[in-house]
Amino acid sequence: MNTAVRTRAGIALAGAALLMGGLTACGEGAAAGDGGTSADATAHEPATALKAAYQKTVAAKTAHAEITTVGADGKSSGESGTKAWYPAGHDVVLKGGDEPDNRSIMLGDTVYTQLDKPLQDGKTWMKMDLSKDGKPGVRLNGDPAEYLGMLLGQQKATHVGAGTTDGVEAQHYKAVLTNAELVTADDSTKVMEEQHRQYLHEAVRHLTAFEVDLWIGKDGLPVRVDSVQTDAKGTVRTTAKFSGYGTAPAVQPPPADQVADFREVMQGVDATLLETDKKLKEAGEDLKEADKTLRDAGLGGLGGLGGS
């Protein structure tokens, strides 16, 4: 394999990591067991409790997240770091798979992935724009506001009871939703801003079913979300744990002089490959000409050289 082809393959892998950072890192998950009893369920009416939790979560803007995902292929992956919302963002370390751990930063539609090795110009980050044809890229972010948003206005959301999860006292809520219910989340209560509600509707449109267990701590903020999401590709299970609300600094992009643009790099690699193909073709023509010359001279061509 020539150097240009190896380079293109390496850049393509970086692009895949970027997509994982902007897409798979979008929280999808696994159902959990009972977090307590339902003895005091009447004091935690789901519609009221979930609305209050959503509003408090929105105000926090960020949280620390520890997320574990088992994909439809059975492979596990994870992420650890800061989740942000409105606009969607993260600064996390992606874990698992066949690739080494790597850092991913997302701000809106721009995803930055830290490279294992710097490019030839010394840049250590690659960025990718996830928007399409000038329109925002629609995807799930896996943040606590998003999970709560899916449950707003849902008649099927129930209060399971009080209990302890990961050493934290919390109230446990549960829902099993169809696609039709997901794409009308919050329509009845209008708690979310219109742009966020419509974005969420688009982001869940591919899901055929969604099961979620959510725990809200004494401070009114989600501490854990276990979910099962099903679409045409299969079932994805996720456990997401949240803490440190509002304490993380705002997500910032890497230094501009350390960032290479994925599309520009790929264009450069493609140009290099075209030039390499051109040179190989020219070399092939030269060999044919040399072979013809030798044959005309009665030397048997290139195949006849090299000794007896």
pLDDT of residue 96: 84
100: confidence class by pLDDT, cuts 50, 70, 90: confident
Give the total residue count for the chain: 308
- Tell me if 240 is assigned to some domain: yes
Its domain, for residue 160, covers 3-264
Q: CA angle, corner 147, sides to 65 and 89, nearest 5?
A: 50
Whether residue 102 contacts residue 113, with contact meaning beta carbons closer than 8 Å, is answered with yes
- Tell me if 25 is assigned to some domain: yes
- Checking if the pLDDT of 76 tops 80, the result is yes
pLDDT of residue 303: 62
Question: Phi, psi at residue 141, to the nearest 5°?
Answer: -105, -15
281: confidence class by pLDDT, cuts 50, 70, 90: low
The lowest-confidence range among 192-196, 218-222, 304-308 is 304-308
pLDDT of residue 271: 44
Please tell me the total count of domains within the chain.
1
Average per-residue pLDDT for the chain:
83
pLDDT of residue 288: 67
Q: How far apart are CA 284 and CA 277, in angstroms?
A: 10
Q: Which pairing describes strands 125-129 and 89-96: parallel, antiparallel, or unpaired?
A: unpaired
- Tell me if 289 is assigned to some domain: no
Question: Phi, psi at residue 147, to the nearest 5°?
Answer: -60, -45
pLDDT of residue 9: 39
Listed in sequence order, the DSSP H helices in 61-176 are 144-151
Whether residue 26 contacts residue 204, with contact meaning beta carbons closer than 8 Å, is answered with no
105: confidence class by pLDDT, cuts 50, 70, 90: very high
pLDDT of residue 301: 61
Highest mean pLDDT among 39-48, 99-108, 133-142: 99-108
pLDDT of residue 136: 82
305: confidence class by pLDDT, cuts 50, 70, 90: low
The CATH number assigned to the domain holding 102 equals 2.50.20.20
Residue 119 or 57, more confident: 57
pLDDT of residue 279: 57
Q: How far apart are CA 113 and CA 129, in angstroms?
A: 12
Residue 268 is encoded by which pair of tokens? 């450069």
- Tell me if 32 is assigned to some domain: yes
Whether residue 30 contacts residue 226, with contact meaning beta carbons closer than 8 Å, is answered with yes
129: confidence class by pLDDT, cuts 50, 70, 90: very high
- Tell me if 86 is assigned to some domain: yes
pLDDT digits (tens, 9 = 90+) for 140-195: 999 999 999 999 999 999 999 999 999 999 999 999 999 999 999 999 999 999 99
- Tell me if 148 is assigned to some domain: yes
pLDDT of residue 34: 45
Q: How far apart are CA 204 and CA 150, in angstroms?
A: 9
- Tell me if 44 is assigned to some domain: yes
Q: How far apart are CA 19 and CA 10, in angstroms?
A: 15
Distances, alpha carbon 242 to alpha carbons 77, 106, 210, 247, 278, in Å: 17, 18, 20, 12, 54
Q: Considering only CA atoms, which of 113, 130, 125 is closest in space to residue 17?
A: 113
Whether residue 226 contacts residue 142, with contact meaning beta carbons closer than 8 Å, is answered with no
- Tell me if 140 is assigned to some domain: yes
Highest mean pLDDT among 119-123, 127-131, 176-180, 279-283: 176-180
Q: Sign of the C-alpha dihedral, residues 196, 199, 205, 206?
A: negative
